Structure 1
Amino acid sequence: MVVEVVQKQRRSRGKNKAPKWTKPDDGVVSVMVLPLAVTDPGDLARLRKLFGAMWSIKRAVQRDARAKVDAYWTAYRERGRDGAKAVRQRLGLSRESLERCAYRHLEDSAHLKHHASKALAMHMADEVWNGVSRHLFSDATGHRSGRPKIGRPYDFTRIPGRARSHTTVNKWETFRLAGTLAGHLTAYADGGPYALMQPRRMPKPTVPYGQVPTGKLTAAGTARMRKATWWDHTGPLAVVFAGGPDSHRADLVLPVRIPQRPGQWKRVQHFLGNPDHWHKVDLVRRRKASAPSGWVYEAHLMVLSPGYSSPTVRRMREQAAALNRVGGVDGNVSNLSVVSFPALLDGGTPISTEITLADTEALKLEKEARKRRGRARALERSRRATNTAQYGLSKRQAVRAARRSENGLKPKAVHVPGGARAARSNGVPKQAYRQDRLSGSYRETRARQAEAATSAAEHRRHRARLVARQIIAAHGPVLVVEDCDIRTWYRLWGKRLSQTTPGMLIAALTVECKAAGGRLMRASTWSTALSQHCLCGERIRKTLRDRDHECPACGLVGKRDLVSAALAAFVRFTDVDDPKSAYLDTALSRQAQITYTQALEEALRESTTPSPNILPGAGRVAVPRQHRLGTSAPRTAEQRGRTTPDETPRGAHAGTFDSRPGRNPQLTLW
């Protein structure tokens, strides 16, 4: 007797028949960071368990994905016979398959269901799939990311939320932002000198009590009523994780503290003024040693609108777009050189800017490096003191122990052994570092180290944005830079690059040029060879040791980096999106050399846009001492002989930027 077994098909709701919702305004989105004022010990414990549960789910899905990726690359014969797509389908290498893996891990666990929900697990699986897809499929340039790796629990800092539905009313399944900006202002404005005065310990908002009308009528003609929910809350702003996976649990309510510093109100209104533009909320934690739990929590709100720009920044970008100049950028290990010309080479003068690391900034970076090395030594001492059995004695400690033994003295206890770690014959430690015991001071020092690293990175990004804005204000938003892979430079000059950050400056220039209506184009070094050419078109071979440019054909003398930046302004493209299609227009560069003879020579010798003003947290231009102090030294007879009536005198623009209409827009960097 044959029994036919009918397998039950997995139920699905089918394809959505409604039109697909798309982001308005060409998909332009922005993010605002909202600090969460969490002081309740119960809420802190619940947040800690939520992040722990989500880390467990992510780690489990990552392990499954790594195993599937390894099986995919091993089955090269099957991929050649049946195709890569068929192998991926068999192994379950897809977004839906990883989501089902996350569901199984959540359902099979006994404790994860008390803290995380299926919606959070689904979006965490989507995050894992994004990394897997970058490994499986190459990008437009033909590159693909490496094999997905499993990180550390302390590096897990973000829980992605689920976007709200813009087609269905009141549908926001994970983290939601409840309340209104007007209600927040009403609750925390006391009529004092400031418009907003938020207390240090902010109270948690509560769900409205009572019933509200639904907008529908009963058979008797009266309004239907329902119980009030968080959707009816119009008071202070708060991030709500409603209910969670357990129905008996209360809602997780996290009060929001909006910025109340002077000059922040317009920015707050831009992001929080229209609740219809709120799209998604991600829960993020950041290390802070002084916090009660060692972490501070933030809500990253994604808004369906462009980011906020102050009126000063917008006016600066408008003036930069009206300059009608074209320039070139040359990135180096120790500096960044920019030279620009009028677009039509009719009137005006070429100007140059050379950005280097100032002495005060170098001293500050050296001080931070000493602090960083001190924290690293403190961490090592703490680990050795807590795990003395894993380390041997140093040479000095061993000699002292032998001397005491020879003299018949009692052995002295060594609390911090200074020798090598106990290892096998192949050099692998006998005990893994993750199994070491760590003290409370070790964890606090590690938190301070992570906090200092985050602060330093934010400082570098802020400095790069400021410098990029000043560059486009002086040279315009149309720039050309060589297409170099700066990552390879770190093999030789890693320490210097970490101080000057040329890659971060070029990335900030790309954003600022686009915001001002221009573009930072990249030219291939193979087809242009800017450092090996002169403006007259002659090819001059130079090594990396040669930092000065001297042309025997035309007699042009200048700095190598400034000459390369000037040549980059005359690079043309067959296809602006393809760096390999770039070529150097030597006829146009020769015309510029003839038109701006004396002014060009002075621009290529040193920066012509100095400024004596130094702002906190920003770089400045390397200029002679007299220009830094705001004074002009007397010129030599040779320099006076080269001056023409059309040449701009030195120090004429050595002032701050005046953004008022009709003023000189040539801003110099500090």
Structure 2
Amino acid sequence: MVLPLTVTDPADLHRLNGLFGAMWSLKRAVQRDARAKVDAYWAAFHERNEHGAKTVRQRLGLSREALERCAYKHLEDSGHLKHHASKALAMHIADEVWNGVSRHLFPDATGHRFGRPKTGRWHDFTRIPGRARSHTTENKWETFRLVGTLHGHVMAHTGGGQHALMQPRRMPTPAKPDGKVPTGKLMASGKPQMRKATWWDHAGPLAVVFAGGPDGSRGDFVLPVLIPQGAGQWERVRHFLSHPSAWHKVDLVRRRKASALGGWVYEAHLMVLGPGYSSPAVRQMRNRAAALDRIGGVDGNVSNMSIVSFPAQLGGGTPVSTEIKLTDAERARLEKEAKKRRGRARALERSRRATNAGQYVLSKKQTARAARRAAKGLAPKMVTVPGGARATRSDGGPKQAYRRDRLSAHYRTQRARQADAAASAAEHRRHRARLVAREIITAHGSVLVIEDCDIRTWYRLWGKRLARTTPGMLISALKVECEAAGGRLIPASTWSTALSQHCLCGERVNKTLRDREHKCIACGLIGKRDLVSAALAAFVRFTDVDDPKTAFLDTAASRDAQITYVQALEEALRESTTPSPNPPRGAGRVAVPRQRRATSAPRTAGQRNRATPDEPRHVRDHAGTPGPRTACSPQLTLR
């Protein structure tokens, strides 16, 4: 669960930036050491053949423990890093570096290795991993710890339960408990044994606490937590935060945001030992998909995606089809976003040229104008933004590397805003893909067959179109939803099935990529090429389900389905037959009936306005309000 952190105090912001800077310096040092050791390992060719690769790795220190000792040494030798980081954080950073090194040294199940480990960039360093909490030893969090309770947080920001949950923009920093508390043991005199209060006794608002380094000179670093609010958020918050014993690990994450103070926003990513949260609407859709006894096929294309499913027992029900493609309104929106993106890119290029005018030559138009002014005896006009190419050396390379250019503050701000817009658009596409995938399994079931295609090769020919429709993202979301509903998205080899070149009757109908309509001379079947391929995918059988190469087309079953569903099948192969809605924002919530009180006594006005300690008033009053719904459209849309 992502917990936003409210860092508004300049002192806290400075200390947080110092922590990220120290951890970045430490990680970069360990990465450089690991990179040198890897180079020495591959250079010791004869030693590896004579004494073995394991012996060479032990001599060079290519192991998890050796990299951890290397990180400890860098931390101890530096004079300033010990004021920010701790040995636990250094160990976890070294473990992350070792994960990349191990993927380079040892091949995976397919026999492939990752490339040579590199040193990352400062702006790509966004996560400080925390160490997992000990569930066997009481009160042991070695790095970042989450303190407080959800009950205490709600009580602190609802006025004792009298008002709605109102979290201020500048969250107050919780104070460490003082005084003494009983330990649960008795002394010889019979009095309870007391101890000094610590953060483990804090039962107020939620906060993330860091011990502040191995020397402990800077004290505890406390960051108040802002729990997410909004429609449908309270049940999710209660799922993750109501059981402190299940809290496992906290990672400190920063994210670029141009409008934030310092250009970064900070979050605490909480890992909980237990199942993830799914809303009641999502669980209902998955249960409905698991109850469907249907077999279906998926045909992925560059511009659309087609799904056709049949009842598992032929003779009952009818075949249904769904075609996912961009509507005119979505195309217009994508064109508008692309125009904005091109405008931002041009603005960034103009800013770079204006700041580094000496690194660019004049354009042909600017050169001709300068020649005309010189011919007329006029003074040369100063050009602030040269429009020509980059100044190059004799070998064709730029005289100055782009990374050495001077960048204005406006350039950096616009670049951060461009990154924010790109990240927001990507998240929106992923969210839409999940919604569309749930609609697909609700209509066609959770057992689907799809052709085993490498979409990366499609980008060589249709990269711009694929960037708009994102079929790979939709297929990945569909695979996740099928598995969540108890089914599976099964890939089938295109070489052994050739779905686009066959008909349901079993005859082979050769088509080129230009032919988008299926016409069979033998049986007279006419339909869209993609829908026919999706219908054939439903009748693909496997010798080994885990091996796509063992797939083959069961022409007898497809012919039987064609005879059983004559008219209904022709209608399904001509156009989409499922009135699947385009899920609007906020849709998918189901109405939950309110639980009446056991007593029959009427509630007073004060009792009606008072929320329970674990449930803010605005959540209780609107828990049963269903989300907005819109009329169903004849086809799914993909954004």
**TM-score of the pair, normalised by structure 2:** 0.89
Q: Are the equivalent residues in 2 in contact too, given 1:333–1:500 (CA < 8 A)?
A: yes
> Matched residues in 1 for 2:366 and 2:80: separation?
49
> 2:207 matched to which residue of 1?
238
1:558 to 527, 536, 542: 527
1:309 aligns with 2:278: yes
Alignment of 1:233-632 (within 5 A): 233-611=202-580, 615-616=584-585
> 2:88 matched to which residue of 1?
119
Q: Are the equivalent residues in 1 in contact too, given 2:129–2:250 (CA < 8 A)?
A: yes
1:371 maps to a residue whose letter is K
SS in 1 for 2:458: helix
1:468 maps to a residue whose letter is A
SS in 2 for 1:214: strand
1:172 maps to a residue whose letter is W
Give the number of aligned pairs.
594
Identity, in percent, stands at 78
> Matched residues in 1 for 2:492 and 2:57: separation?
38
1:264: how far off? 1.3
> 1:669 matched to which residue of 2?
636
1:578 maps to a residue whose letter is D
**TM-score of the pair, normalised by structure 1:** 0.85
1:75: how far off? 3.6
1:136 aligns with 2:95: no
> Matched residues in 1 for 2:241 and 2:265: separation?
22
1:183 aligns with 2:183: no
Q: Which is bigger in relative contact order (C-alpha 8 A, separation at least 6)?
A: 2
1:83: how far off? 3.4
1:560 maps to a residue whose letter is R
- Residues 428 and 60 of structure 1: CA distance in aligned 2, closer, same or farther (over 3 Å): farther
Q: Are the equivalent residues in 2 in contact too, given 1:72–1:91 (CA < 8 A)?
A: yes
1:40: how far off? 0.7
- Residues 593 and 194 of structure 1: CA distance in aligned 2, closer, same or farther (over 3 Å): farther
After the TM superposition, which segments of 4 or more aligned residues of structure 1 sit over 6 Å from their partners?
191-194, 665-668
1:211 aligns with 2:213: no
> Matched residues in 2 for 1:465 and 1:251: separation?
41
2:54 to 85, 96, 100: 85
- Residues 57 and 667 of structure 1: CA distance in aligned 2, closer, same or farther (over 3 Å): farther
**Per-residue displacement from partner, 1:25-62 (whole Å, max 9, x unpaired)?**
xxxxxxx1111111111111111121122122222222
> 2:133 matched to which residue of 1?
164
1:106 to 50, 61, 75: 75
1:185: how far off? 0.5
SS in 2 for 1:417: coil
Q: Are the equivalent residues in 2 in contact too, given 1:334–1:497 (CA < 8 A)?
A: yes
> Matched residues in 2 for 1:387 and 1:188: separation?
51
- Residues 486 and 194 of structure 1: CA distance in aligned 2, closer, same or farther (over 3 Å): farther
SS in 1 for 2:289: helix
Which consecutive residues of structure 2, in runs of 5 or more, have no partner in the other structure? Answer: 588-625, 627-631
2:255 maps to a residue whose letter is R
> 1:37 matched to which residue of 2?
6
**Per-residue displacement from partner, 1:362-381 (whole Å, max 9, x unpaired)?**
21121111111111111111
SS in 1 for 2:37: helix
- Residues 613 and 522 of structure 1: CA distance in aligned 2, closer, same or farther (over 3 Å): closer
1:531: how far off? 1.4
Q: Are the equivalent residues in 1 in contact too, given 2:6–2:226 (CA < 8 A)?
A: yes
**Which region of structure 1 is more displaced relative to structure 2, 70-79 or 425-434?**
70-79
1:400: how far off? 2.2
> Matched residues in 2 for 1:78 and 1:584: separation?
53
**Per-residue displacement from partner, 1:361-417 (whole Å, max 9, x unpaired)?**
221121111111111111111122222222222222222223333333222222222
1:274: how far off? 0.4
SS in 1 for 2:253: strand
> Matched residues in 2 for 1:208 and 1:105: separation?
35
1:612: how far off? 6.6
SS in 2 for 1:521: strand
SS in 1 for 2:262: coil
SS in 2 for 1:293: helix
1:335 maps to a residue whose letter is N
**Per-residue displacement from partner, 1:125-149 (whole Å, max 9, x unpaired)?**
1112222222333333333333333
Q: Are the equivalent residues in 2 in contact too, given 1:474–1:667 (CA < 8 A)?
A: no
**Per-residue displacement from partner, 1:268-326 (whole Å, max 9, x unpaired)?**
11000101111111111111111111111111100111111111111111111111011
